[in-house]
């Protein structure tokens, strides 16, 4: 089917028949050390433009002996540990590490440090050298019955990645039994080295890292590693262009799968159809779909005119919009073009039919009028609801990976894109700490004039353009 009603799980490669990096008693510290210092895993031997994976027979390092039975020395940059049960164990970590990443939520049943949990660690290492990023296996990033879990898995990983990147080394990662710590570190270093999940798991198994026996942690790590490998493999295979229509300050986006030449346009504008069509023809593309994020009130969509120029092209809009189109989509649908696809995210609030489109590797999201750069769409007409928009952005968009690029339908200050993390930190209407009630007050006080083309745009867009 061209449009799938659910997000399919990431396909994982078989682990059978893969060579392990390690023989016998494995050099755990050498494995991780080579990733960190060379940005590659294992030892690799360079041979012209290629590298081949080789075995190592170095023994596990025992330079540092901790009072804790859960402690594992990895190399001069990293260690992992379980429950810090007393002052002597904490002192050992202070003597050997400059910073700490703490993964326990600090609930009555899940803490990784005596006395006050993370607060105790902050007193020992200092606030600037301590990070608390709870890893709770009951959250959506580790619930694999939910079709959207790959998105949440990447978002969770980026929180760990950002914390580790910000800390001075050497760093120790602590949880209750060192199992979650080993998963985070192995995945982090595998991503840095751009190594497949098969290699990371083979090395981790041989090294005795226990997360590989935990189904949720293993699947989470596989999801992250395979997604980042896919991003690397797809580099240069996606054509992406951002166009601008100055009268309504609307962005139109052209995406195409390079191998197949299948292309889509997001939010085309009637007045710039010829420009869009020219790019499609010059690049030798086959325009498959014209997508609208919602029924626009400030311009007439170019979908109808483009369908006339490209007879194989079909129009797409959400079922909830009430507008006519060849294909009507719902939350979780996939829109395929060549080897790539977009995931439909229902993000109502600006209108009741708004959707956003997330690229398959979660690297970019097209948010329409729901989330703008340092702003959001108005909510005072077309069945708009400030409360619903707030919920949509918080639950559907602000749960995406922080590095995910945000491409809105409009911008009025000359900015082309943002990221989810930027908007969470700096959007004056929606940043972290602003409540739904406060957001509703902000939106109610805007007192915006109606869009100039409201009376002509709505009827035309109800039938997908002219």
In this structure, are residues 229 and 194 in contact, taking their beta carbons and an 8 Å threshold?
A: yes
- 373 compared with 63, residue with greater pLDDT: 373
Instruction: Take residue 311 and report the two structure tokens written for it.
Output: 């007879």
pLDDT tens digits along 268-291: 999 999 999 999 999 999 999 999
Phi/psi at 432 (5° precision): -55, 130
Query: Taking 50 as the threshold, does the pLDDT of residue 400 lie above it?
Result: yes
Handedness of CA 334, 3, 378, 390 (dihedral sign): negative
Q: How far apart are CA 242 and CA 240, in angstroms?
A: 7
- Convert 191-203 to b/e letters by CB count within 10 Å (16 or more is b): bbbbbbbbbbbbb
Estimate to the nearest angstrom the gap between the alpha carbon of 281 and the chain centroid.
32
pLDDT tens digits along 58-99: 223 345 677 788 999 988 899 999 999 999 999 999 999 999
pTM value is 0.77
Contacts of 28 (CB under 8 A, 6+ apart): 60, 61, 72, 74, 207, 208, 209
Query: Taking 60 as the threshold, does the pLDDT of residue 22 lie above it?
Result: no
pLDDT tens digits along 185-205: 999 999 999 889 999 999 999
Dihedral, 407, 409, 414, 419 alpha carbons, nearest 10: -20
What is the model's pLDDT at position 146? 58
pLDDT tens digits along 323-351: 999 999 999 999 999 999 999 999 999 99
pLDDT tens digits along 354-372: 999 999 999 999 999 999 9
pLDDT tens digits along 408-458: 999 988 899 999 999 999 999 999 999 999 999 999 999 999 888 888 999
Q: Are strands 405-408 and 418-419 parallel, antiparallel or unpaired?
A: antiparallel
């Amino acid at each position: 089917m061209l449009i799938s009603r659910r997000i399919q799980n990431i396909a994982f490669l078989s682990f059978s028949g893969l060579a392990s990096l390690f023989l016998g008693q494995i050099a755990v510290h050498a494995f991780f050390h080579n990733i960190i210092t060379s940005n590659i895993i294992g030892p690799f031997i360079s041979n012209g433009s290629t590298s081949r994976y080789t075995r190592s027979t170095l023994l596990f390092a025992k330079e540092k002996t901790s009072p804790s039975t859960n402690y594992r020395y990895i190399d001069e940059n990293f260690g992992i540990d379980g429950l810090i049960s007393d002052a002597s164990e904490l002192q050992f970590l202070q003597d050997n590490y400059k910073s700490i990443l703490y993964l326990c939520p600090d609930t009555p049943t899940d803490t990784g440090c005596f006395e006050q949990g993370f607060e105790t660690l902050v007193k020992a290492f200092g606030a600037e050298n301590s990070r608390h990023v709870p890893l709770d296996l009951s959250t959506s990033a580790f619930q694999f019955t939910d079709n959207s879990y790959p998105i949440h898995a990447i978002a969770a990983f980026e929180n760990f990645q950002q914390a580790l990147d910000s800390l001075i080394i050497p760093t120790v990662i602590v949880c209750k039994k060192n199992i979650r710590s080993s998963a985070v570190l192995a995945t982090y270093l595998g991503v840095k080295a751009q190594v497949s999940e098969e290699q990371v798991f083979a090395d981790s198994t041989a090294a005795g890292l226990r997360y590989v026996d935990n189904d949720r942690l293993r699947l989470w790590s596989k999801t992250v590693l395979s997604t980042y490998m896919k991003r690397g493999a797809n580099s240069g295979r996606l054509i992406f262009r951002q166009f601008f229509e100055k009268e309504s300050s609307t962005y139109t986006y052209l995406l195409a799968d390079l191998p197949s030449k299948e292309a889509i346009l997001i939010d085309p504008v009637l007045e710039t159809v010829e420009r869009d069509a020219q790019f499609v023809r010059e690049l030798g593309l086959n325009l498959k779909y014209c997508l609208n994020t919602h029924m626009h009130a400030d311009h007439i969509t170019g979908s109808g005119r483009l369908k006339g120029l490209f007879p194989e092209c079909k129009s797409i809009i959400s079922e909830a919009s009430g507008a006519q189109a060849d294909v009507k989509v719902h939350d979780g649908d996939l829109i395929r073009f060549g080897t790539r696809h977009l995931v439909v995210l229902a993000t109502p609030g600006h209108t009741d039919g708004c959707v956003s489109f997330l690229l398959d590797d979660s690297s970019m999201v097209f948010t329409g009028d729901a989330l703008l750069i340092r702003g959001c769409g108005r909510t005072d007409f077309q069945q708009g609801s400030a409360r619903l928009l707030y919920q949509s952005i918080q639950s559907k968009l602000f749960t995406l990976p922080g590095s995910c690029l945000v491409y809105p339908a409009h911008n009025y200050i000359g900015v082309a894109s943002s990221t989810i993390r930027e908007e969470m930190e700096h959007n004056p209407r929606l940043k972290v700490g602003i409540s739904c009630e406060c957001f509703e007050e902000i939106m109610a006080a805007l007192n915006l004039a109606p869009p100039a083309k409201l009376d002509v745009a709505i009827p035309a867009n109800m039938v997908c353009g002219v």
